[in-house]
């Protein structure tokens, strides 16, 4: 196996155990690791690090692409390894530690981590720890199911540790497109002109001398845990498909739409599934995470090509795709997240961005991150990269949570990640609010009638009408802006009567 996967013979001498590699990670270091939405994270070394921390404790800053699989964030948190974590996470144990103040979490736009590192506006990366499907003759590192920030970490780190993971099909080589931007002031445009543009190399270039250790592993990615579409998400998908069909009818979009981005999670995944039976043809995706729905759209013939920075599939879909990679390889590309999420390319291509709101308000401001304005859920991820720069920014949510005790549409968001300037369309299972080119005062009626659950409509109108009496561009009763949240804290429900 070794020689297939490590094609530069001199590097075979660098192969060590996971424990030995983990011993390179010292207290206070910053580790830049592969891994994005449970795909392609380094597995053996972080688990070795967690295991040895009882006897030989270190605290590190861990940067990744995004969230990790194999319970790595959980185990590192429990072992007390994490001092700082960025730019995204989605693990309940880590989330808890963050909200207790035990781990400092820097919640960043996913396109920006690379920029901050490259300009040395953050502490430098000591060790890059990346999973690879292979190492080429020149030392080039072939990523696996995600690219994330790995190219930046490998380029900038003092030392590089590579986990060569034989659980990934060797046929994945060729699916990646790695491009490292030039230094300012000589930086050139990113020549991505369409979702299927290839602008770089199929591996991360790396001087072999910088590879400090190589670890073999055959641990699998954790499968995605998406649930099947349910009546609400099917309804959301239906509203959105109807809306987009009307945009085509009005001549504002062609029948292949514009390139699509969809956020991670069940609702966005379900919305894309809805497009399998839509009238649209020859679509493309320029997105962040490719989920089961992307594969369903490719299989249906509706989608010509998908670009992302990671691929996170459920077990059955993953099994089918990775056993038939040659069938998919010329219709998929995985890029660094600074390129999948780059403002330049998002604006140029005119992306239709579909992201999930945790909470939104009657004026169209969106909270993507903070429960009750204080407690972190996962992080902003790429939603800000896409929503700000998209052709059209759509946010989707179920209208209620906790069996109706929470209305996801409230008078004022308790934390704002996306301002009303960046929210064109809101969709819940009840309907779709088209907020384009509307003043704030024109928005509440539409949002309440189309998107708010009927059980909350009266109290939403009551708030808005009393707010209106006080005037302003964006009327509010400031001392009641969070009264629904206060009511829930007291009674268990946001329903005021």
Pick out residues in 350-389 that bind a copy of itself (CB under 8 A). Answer: 350, 365, 369-370, 372-376, 380, 384, 388-389
Rounded CA-CA distance 125/139 in Å is 20
Mark whether 344 is an active-site residue: no
Least separation, in Å, of the C-beta of 181 and a copy of itself? 9
Q: Which is nearer to a copy of itself, 10 or 254 (CB)?
A: 254
- Residue 279 tokens read as 């009238």
Q: Is 314 in the site for a copy of itself (CB under 8 A)?
A: no
Tell me whether residue 29 or residue 214 sits nearer to a copy of itself (CB atom).
29
Q: Do strands 352-356 and 310-311 pair parallel, antiparallel, or not at all (unpaired)? A: unpaired
Instruction: Kindly state whether residue 315 participates in binding a copy of itself, applying the rule CB under 8 A.
Output: no
Handedness of CA 11, 17, 18, 24 (dihedral sign): negative
Label residue 59 left, alpha or beta by phi (over 0 means left) and psi (-120 to 50 means alpha). beta
Please count the residues of this chain forming the interface with a copy of itself, following the rule CB under 8 A.
Answer: 84
Interacting residue with a copy of itself among 9, 28, 124, 472 (CB under 8 A): 472
Site residues for a copy of itself, window 203-242 (CB under 8 A)? Answer: none
Burial label, 132 (beta-carbon count in 10 A; 0-12, 13-18, 19+)? buried
- To the nearest 10 degrees (0 to 180), the angle between helices 292-300 and 315-322 is 50
Q: Show the beta-strand stretches assigned E in 158-279.
A: 159-165, 211-217, 260-262
Of 392, 410, 460, 494, which one interacts with a copy of itself (CB under 8 A)? 392
Q: Choose the stretch contacting a copy of itself; rule: CB under 8 A; options: 171-179, 182-190, 291-299, 446-454.
A: 182-190
Burial of residue 3, with CB atoms counted within 10 A of its CB: 0-12 exposed, 13-18 middle, 19 or more buried = exposed
Q: How far apart are CA 362 and CA 418, in angstroms?
A: 13
Nearer to a copy of itself, 113 or 312 (CB): 113
What would the two tokens of residue 238 be?
A: 């239906």
Q: Site for a copy of itself (CB under 8 A): which residue of 251, 403, 454, 497?
A: 251
Near a copy of itself in 418-457, by CB under 8 A: 419, 421, 424, 436-442
CB of 69 to a copy of itself, least distance (A): 23
Near a copy of itself in 79-118, by CB under 8 A: 84, 86, 98-101, 104-109, 115-116
Q: Which is nearer to a copy of itself, 108 or 136 (CB)?
A: 108
55 near a copy of itself (CB under 8 A):
no
Set 41, 173, 232, 288: catalytic member? 288
- Which residues have CB under 8 Å from 15's CB, separation 6+? 2, 6, 213, 214, 215, 216
One residue of 470, 491, 492, 496 binding a copy of itself per CB under 8 A: 470
Query: If DSSP codes are grouped into helix, strand and coil, which group holds residue 253?
Result: coil
Binding a copy of itself by CB under 8 A: which of 474, 487, 493, 495? 474
Q: Which residues contact 218 (CB under 8 A, 6 or more apart)?
A: 165, 166, 167
Nearer to a copy of itself, 327 or 421 (CB): 421
Residues 138-177 that bind a copy of itself (CB under 8 A): none
The catalytic residue positions are: 288
């Amino acid at each position: 196996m070794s020689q297939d996967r490590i094609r530069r013979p001199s590097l075979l001498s660098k192969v060590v155990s996971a424990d030995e590699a983990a011993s390179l990670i010292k207290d206070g270091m910053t580790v830049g690791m592969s891994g994005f939405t449970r795909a392609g994270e380094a597995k053996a070394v972080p688990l070795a690090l967690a295991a040895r921390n009882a006897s030989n404790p270190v605290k590190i800053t861990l940067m990744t692409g995004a969230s990790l699989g194999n319970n790595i964030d959980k185990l590192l948190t429990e072992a007390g390894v994490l001092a700082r974590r960025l730019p995204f996470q989605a693990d309940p144990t880590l989330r808890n530690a963050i909200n207790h103040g035990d781990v400092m979490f820097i919640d960043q736009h996913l396109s920006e981590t690379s920029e901050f590192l490259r300009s040395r506006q953050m502490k430098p990366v000591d060790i890059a720890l990346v999973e690879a499907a292979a190492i080429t003759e020149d030392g080039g590192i072939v990523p696996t199911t995600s690219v994330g920030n790995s190219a930046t970490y490998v380029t900038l780190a003092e030392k590089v540790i590579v986990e060569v993971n034989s659980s990934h099909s060797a046929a994945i080589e060729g699916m990646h497109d790695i491009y490292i931007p030039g230094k300012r002031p000589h930086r050139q445009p990113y020549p991505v002109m369409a979702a299927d543009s290839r602008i770089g190399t199929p591996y991360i270039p790396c001087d072999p001398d910088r590879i400090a250790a190589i670890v073999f592993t055959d641990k699998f990615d954790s499968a995605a845990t998406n649930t099947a579409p349910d009546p609400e998400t099917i309804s959301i998908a239906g509203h959105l498909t109807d809306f987009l069909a009307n945009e085509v009818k009005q001549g504002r979009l062609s029948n292949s739409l514009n390139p699509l981005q969809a956020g991670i999670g069940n609702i966005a995944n379900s919305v894309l599934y809805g497009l399998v039976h839509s009238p649209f043809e020859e679509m493309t995706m320029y997105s962040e995470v490719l989920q089961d729905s992307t594969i369903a759209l490719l299989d249906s013939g509706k989608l010509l090509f998908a670009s992302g920075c990671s691929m996170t599939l459920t077990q059955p879909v993953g099994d089918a795709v990775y056993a038939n990679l040659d069938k998919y390889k010329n219709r998929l590309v995985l890029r660094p997240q600074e390129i999948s999420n780059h403002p330049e390319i998002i604006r140029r291509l005119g992306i239709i961005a579909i992201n999930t709101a945790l909470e939104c308000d009657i004026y169209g401001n969106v909270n993507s991150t903070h429960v009750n304005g204080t407690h972190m859920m996962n992080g902003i991820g790429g939603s800000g990269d896409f929503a700000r720069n998209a052709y059209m920014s759509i946010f989707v949510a179920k209208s209620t949570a906790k069996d109706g005790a929470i209305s996801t549409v409230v008078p004022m968001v308790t934390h704002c990640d996306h301002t009303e300037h960046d929210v064109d369309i809101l969709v819940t299972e009840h309907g779709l609010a088209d907020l384009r080119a509307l003043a704030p005062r024109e928005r509440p009626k539409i949002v309440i009638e189309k998107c708010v659950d009927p059980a909350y409509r009266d109290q939403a109108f009551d708030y808005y009408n009393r707010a209106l009496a006080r005037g302003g561009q964006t009327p509010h009763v400031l001392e009641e802006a969070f009264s629904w949240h206060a009511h829930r804290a007291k009674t268990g429900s946001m329903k005021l009567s």
